[in-house]
Amino acid sequence: MRAGFSVPNGGPIATVEAVFKIATRAEELDYQTLWTFERLLCAVNPQNPYPGTPDGSWPSVFRRILDPLDTLTFVAAHTKKIFLGTSVLDIPYYNPVTLARRLTTIDYLSNGRLRVGLGLGWSQDEMDATGASMKQRGPMAEEFLRVLTAIWTQNPVEFDGKFFKLPKSYIDLKPVQKPHPRIYLAAFAPAALSRLARLADGWNPTGVPIAGMAQMFSSIKQMATEAGRDASSLEMIVRANLHITEKPLGTDRHIFAGTLDQIKEDTAACRELGAHEVHFDPGFGSASRTLDGWLALMEQLRSFV
């Protein structure tokens, strides 16, 4: 099982120094992947709760965000071998043609080190800010993925869909990775899991208990087989949002919440489940509010995988 770690592109720790030091140190420690996340804004009066906290409150780190792709471009210039991923970009906020160019550029400049994590988004406030549609995000995602893969694998390329149109065009710059960088979806609803099984290369769950991941990934692979795909090629990349405590939490705790020993147990359970990678994100807890704390935690967690 591979080990990944988050680049601090959110909150006060998101500085040039921190991004540089954490990225280069992760490569020295033989982490396999670095990940960024996306937020556009931190609503003063949010229209819907944040799904990652018990009370639905939005984390304060959302108030200050470095662009996830620009951050990876910076990291690519200061690293040589570690893979660079997004966990995740929200599909409704983008146009697939312009995003394909940005993603291809990162893969090209990094010599084939990009991993593409995509999701549907959950914030109505961000949907309003970008002119996106919460109701149409699923059907749009279907076409979005088809446009991305067409641009990456065809030349000339054209697409004529309900939401996106691309006139027959030459787009010579292609990803270094063939046929294209791996695409992971943060899917949870049945329709999204079906889309993943048919069109993506893997699953990027977060906050799902071990038993739930086992059941859902089995369902994904079954749907992939029914769609005529090789289910064994699909990967599961578990995003571990850390909430570290000094004292052990009870049996009703959330996954990757508790002491370091409990988080080590969760990591081992992911390995036993067959996860291909666990990527640790300490950015929402108090244990890594300083650069030194983040670096120390990176050292401690490396032995867990």
The per-residue pLDDT string of the chain (305 residues; one tens digit each, 9 = 90 and over) reads 999 999 999 999 999 999 999 999 999 999 999 999 999 999 999 999 998 887 899 999 999 999 999 999 999 999 999 999 999 999 999 999 999 999 999 999 999 999 999 999 999 999 999 999 999 999 999 999 999 999 999 999 999 999 999 999 999 999 999 999 999 999 999 999 999 999 999 999 999 999 999 999 999 999 999 999 999 999 999 999 999 999 999 999 999 999 999 999 999 999 999 999 999 999 887 666 799 999 999 999 999 99
Q: Where are the domains of the chain?
A: 2-302
CA distance 7 to 252: 29
Q: Helix, strand, or coil here: 165?
A: strand
Considering the entire predicted model, what is its pTM?
Answer: 0.96
Residue 75 buriedness (CB in 10 A; 0-12 / 13-18 / 19+): buried
The count of other CB atoms within 10 Å of the CB of residue 278 is: 25
CA distance 63 to 125: 14
Of 199, 282, 186, 210, give the one whose Cα is nearest residue 240. 282
CATH 3.20.20.30 fits domain 2-302: yes
The count of other CB atoms within 10 Å of the CB of residue 65 is: 19
How is residue 271 written in tokens? 């390995």
277 DSSP β-pair partners: 2, 237
CA distance 81 to 277: 17
Amino acid type, 104: T
116 DSSP β-pair partners: 183
Q: From residue 1, give the alpha-carbon distance in Å to each of 223, 242, 258, 277, 304.
A: 24, 18, 22, 5, 10
